[in-house]
Structure 1
Amino acid sequence: MAQRQLNVGLIGGGGGAFISHPHQRAIHFDGTRRVTAAALHPDPETAMKEAENWAYPLKGYRSYDEMIQEELKKPVGERIDYALIVTPNHVHFDPAMKCVQAGIPVMCEKPLTVSLEESDKLVAAVKENKVPFGVAHTYLGHWTTRFSRFIVKSGLLGDVRWVDSRYLQGWMADRTEDTGNVQAEWRVDPKKSGASNCGGDIGTHALMQLRFVTGLDVTRVQAHVETFVEGRKLDDHFTTYCELSNGSKALVRATQIAIGHKNNLGIEVNGSKGTLLWSQESPEELTIMLAGQPDRTYFRGGVSPNDGFLGDVPQDLLDEPQVPPGHPEGFHDAFARLHRCFEQDVRAYLDGKPFHCDGNKYANVEDGRMGIAFIAAAIESSQADGTWTDVALTAN
């Protein structure tokens, strides 16, 4: 017997917001989830108008408070089963906290919050209420990212010595915020974005890619958080030299002023036995370089275990790709994989069964908090002219 579709409540996403659209496609990707309710805009009248004109039928609400309250009055099966938060950064904490306290699982866009204090409170609430909580670090959903994690954590590269994780963009190389670009306007507003624009927006992606692929944490940083475009209130260039939890070093860097770069997230892991190279803009492949051997390129869906480098590969990892090699997966597939894995934990939660939410399939609330702790340490270090600054690894 087929399982019923899960109902998802959308918080934010109106007003032409970009990120809500790939999330919606991902939610509907498998036919097992659907968006049924939404609070689309901070202005109540606009929220209702946008709901009426939405591309498909959904129940519109004047605010997320109203949505939470009214949805909980419905029986299980008709109410929302989890909430998706796609608002600007400063409107992540309040709806996330209210959903968690109401027992509603949450998938939240990154960065988790705008302050470490808020993140600590949210971590505590998630632990107390024992609900699934995911943070939408999209690129963890690429199959090759998961395969990279397997390679590094299996020790196939030896000991991790050095990591270069970066996210390069060029879309804010001039005063984009003065051209009517809403996405740029709120990102450079400290009241909406938090202490960092570039670091919070894409530097957290570079950090999460490092942490997920290597399994290591950044323990302290020397940072330079800079603004190159004159008059801009927040950073557009973000560079951190890092010490990792195994004693090795790393560079975690991001920029939005590198003209010509689009969404160039990439990672290089140098180990004592070899090097791994991966780029988000070529997400179907990764490269392994070993001393004295030709480079090896692995393609999603075309991996053969026990090939002289790889040993056994977990069957569940091999079974994850949804389409044969040569039919490319992409950005929306990565989103869908995150929602698919989150769905498994939500269903277990709804059935009163144990769920994992352990960071192995998607970023969890603790991962989100680490992004904020990293940003806080980088800002502190930069303000102290690049002094080594510890990252708060655990919540207060």
Structure 2
Amino acid sequence: MALVGGGQGSFIGRVHSIAACLDNRAVLTAGALSSNPERAKSSAPDYGIEDARAYTSYQELLESEAKLPEDERIDFLSIATPNHVHFEVADAAVKAGFNVVCDKPMTYDLAQAEKLMQTVRDSDVVFALSHNYTGYPLVRQAREMILGGDLGEINAIRAQYIQGWLRTSLEAEEQKQASWRTDPSKSGAAGAFGDIATHAYNLGRFMTGLLPDQVSCHLKTFVEGRRLDDYGTAVVRYDNGGLGTVTASQISHGRENDLEIEIDGTKGSLKWRQENPNELIYRQNGKAHQIYTRDPNAPFMTPLGAAACRIPAGHPEAFFEAFANLYGSAFDDMAKRASGESFERRDTVYTNVFDGVEGMYFIQQCVASSQDNAAWLPLKHDAARR
């Protein structure tokens, strides 16, 4: 593994490195940890990266690693930089023949996402996007229950991702995480919606498989002087006639990392909450509510849900393990590629490049809808569906 980004002061870089190595299927051996050469070098010991493979730019990393013997060079590269750097690193890595795991959202804008999709299509690399919440065992359990018909026809999806950490203008204090997320030149056209609403939207797509048709969105900036949205709600119409809502906030007092989803079907409904990830609630009218707990040995667990568990019931599994499950699914395909086997490019358990394009299209259309008084806009990206 090589890591791009993740230098001193980073949050998600450390998460990527821990998750990728959790199951002893990968070793972090190289990195270009910062755009600042000195910080890139000084951050390397924190990750146990030797000085010789602590590069000062991703260009140097790719060029140097490509020159190494095949059994010594990196197999994949993880991108943990601000959004505006994702495309250039991912595009160069794919063209150099390296597998890629990229943090979300996939790129700075839709045009970059479409270019990257074509680059990946023209290659034989594995490309995964870190929508890590799809890695939770009970999220994967819910997916198989829904696709298996346990809920019947899906009528509604209510997804929300509520935080409070940007209630004040942390960017004015030059707090690192706030500064780039609220800067349009680094984050893109959306703030909270690009940062966390994409997770809520993706979770609904992953669990139900419903294809979106149209979207209407209101975005709002409540903190004075902030340049991007910190609150918003979108309504989604799906191809099957169902409705969805996606709400994101980063200004709600006391809320930490509250991603929650409810799905209504003609036979029953499900509810899952990221802050209590080892429980899944199933409801039917006239019957007692059922609470599914994460238990790899229980007969009620689906194969995908059970396979995502590492330890017995009652021992909580959470964020790092879910992130590692995404990596594990991508590693399976990387191993197939390395041995010359064919592997699925589109219908993958991990979020892929086509899903990434859909996510960028969602952001673009939500911003455009909000600017046009919540006008209904199309949400079908034909190229990503083909």
**TM-score category, normalised to shorter length:** over 0.9
Aligned to 2:146: 152
Cα distance in structure 2, aligned partners of 1:324 and 1:130: 37
**Structure 1 unaligned residues grouped into runs of 5+:** 1-7
Cα distance in structure 1, aligned partners of 2:26 and 2:149: 37
Aligned to 1:387: 375
Q: Percent identity at matched positions?
A: 39
Cα distance in structure 2, aligned partners of 1:317 and 1:274: 19
Which residue identity is paired with 1:77? Answer: D
TM-superposed deviation, 1:358: 3.4
- Do the aligned partners of 1:165 and 1:210 also contact (CA within 8 Å) in 2? yes
Q: Does 1:22 align with 2:3?
A: no
Q: Does 1:38 align with 2:31?
A: yes
Aligned to 1:341: 329
Which of residues 61, 66, 69 is equivalent to 1:72? 66
Aligned to 2:244: 250
TM-superposed deviation, 1:304: 4.1
3-state DSSP of counterpart to 1:66: helix
Distance 1:329 1:85, change over 3 A: same
Aligned to 2:233: 239
Aligned to 2:346: 358
Cα distance in structure 2, aligned partners of 1:394 and 1:337: 29
Aligned to 1:56: 48
How far does the alpha carbon of each residue in 1:328-373 deviate from its partner, in whole angstroms, 9 at most, with x for none? 1010101111111111111111111112243542100111111110
3-state DSSP of counterpart to 1:92: helix
Which residue identity is paired with 2:61? Answer: M
RMSD of aligned residue pairs (Cα, Å): 1.4
Give the aligned length: 382
Cα distance in structure 2, aligned partners of 1:110 and 1:316: 23
TM-superposed deviation, 1:228: 0.6
Which residue identity is paired with 2:283? Answer: M
Cα distance in structure 1, aligned partners of 2:307 and 2:57: 41
- Do the aligned partners of 2:214 and 2:238 also contact (CA within 8 Å) in 1? yes
Which residue identity is paired with 2:83? Answer: N
Which of residues 133, 137, 143 is equivalent to 2:137? 143
Aligned to 1:133: 127
TM-superposed deviation, 1:28: 1.7
Which residue identity is paired with 1:94? Answer: E
Which of residues 261, 276, 279 is equivalent to 2:273? 279
TM-superposed deviation, 1:246: 1.3
Cα distance in structure 2, aligned partners of 1:80 and 1:253: 39
3-state DSSP of counterpart to 2:312: coil
- Do the aligned partners of 1:219 and 1:393 also contact (CA within 8 Å) in 2? no
TM-superposed deviation, 1:55: 3.9
Which of residues 252, 258, 267 is equivalent to 1:264? 258
Distance 1:300 1:181, change over 3 A: same
Which has the larger helix fraction? 2
Which residue identity is paired with 1:56? Answer: G
Which residue identity is paired with 1:67? Answer: L
- Do the aligned partners of 1:163 and 1:270 also contact (CA within 8 Å) in 2? yes
Cα distance in structure 2, aligned partners of 1:35 and 1:277: 36
- Do the aligned partners of 1:220 and 1:377 also contact (CA within 8 Å) in 2? no
Which of residues 76, 87, 102 is equivalent to 1:82? 76
- Do the aligned partners of 1:26 and 1:336 also contact (CA within 8 Å) in 2? yes
Which residue identity is paired with 1:89? Answer: N
Cα distance in structure 2, aligned partners of 1:57 and 1:319: 31
TM-superposed deviation, 1:23: 1.2
TM-score (norm 2): 0.96
3-state DSSP of counterpart to 1:253: strand
TM-superposed deviation, 1:50: 2.2
3-state DSSP of counterpart to 2:382: coil
3-state DSSP of counterpart to 1:363: coil
TM-superposed deviation, 1:395: 3.1
3-state DSSP of counterpart to 1:57: coil
Aligned to 1:92: 86
3-state DSSP of counterpart to 1:293: coil
**Structure 2 unaligned residues grouped into runs of 5+:** none
Which residue identity is paired with 1:79? Answer: R
3-state DSSP of counterpart to 2:308: coil
Cα distance in structure 1, aligned partners of 2:212 and 2:380: 10
- Do the aligned partners of 1:173 and 1:257 also contact (CA within 8 Å) in 2? yes
Which of residues 176, 186, 189 is equivalent to 2:180? 186
Distance 1:303 1:199, change over 3 A: farther
3-state DSSP of counterpart to 2:234: strand
Aligned to 2:285: 291
Cα distance in structure 2, aligned partners of 1:359 and 1:351: 20
Distance 1:198 1:96, change over 3 A: same
Aligned to 2:356: 368
- Do the aligned partners of 1:144 and 1:300 also contact (CA within 8 Å) in 2? yes
How far does the alpha carbon of each residue in 1:162-209 deviate from its partner, in whole angstroms, 9 at most, with x for none? 110110001011112122311000001000000001011001000110
Q: Which aligned runs of 4 or more in structure 1 are off by greater than 3 angstroms? A: 302-305, 313-317, 357-360
Cα distance in structure 1, aligned partners of 2:134 and 2:291: 19
- Do the aligned partners of 2:234 and 2:366 also contact (CA within 8 Å) in 1? yes
Aligned to 1:195: 189
3-state DSSP of counterpart to 1:34: coil
3-state DSSP of counterpart to 2:122: helix
How far does the alpha carbon of each residue in 1:231-288 deviate from its partner, in whole angstroms, 9 at most, with x for none? 1000001210110121211101111011111110010001111110000001101000
3-state DSSP of counterpart to 1:156: coil
TM-superposed deviation, 1:27: 1.6
- Do the aligned partners of 1:238 and 1:254 also contact (CA within 8 Å) in 2? yes
How far does the alpha carbon of each residue in 1:120-148 deviate from its partner, in whole angstroms, 9 at most, with x for none? 00111101112110000110110011001
Q: Does 1:169 align with 2:157?
A: no
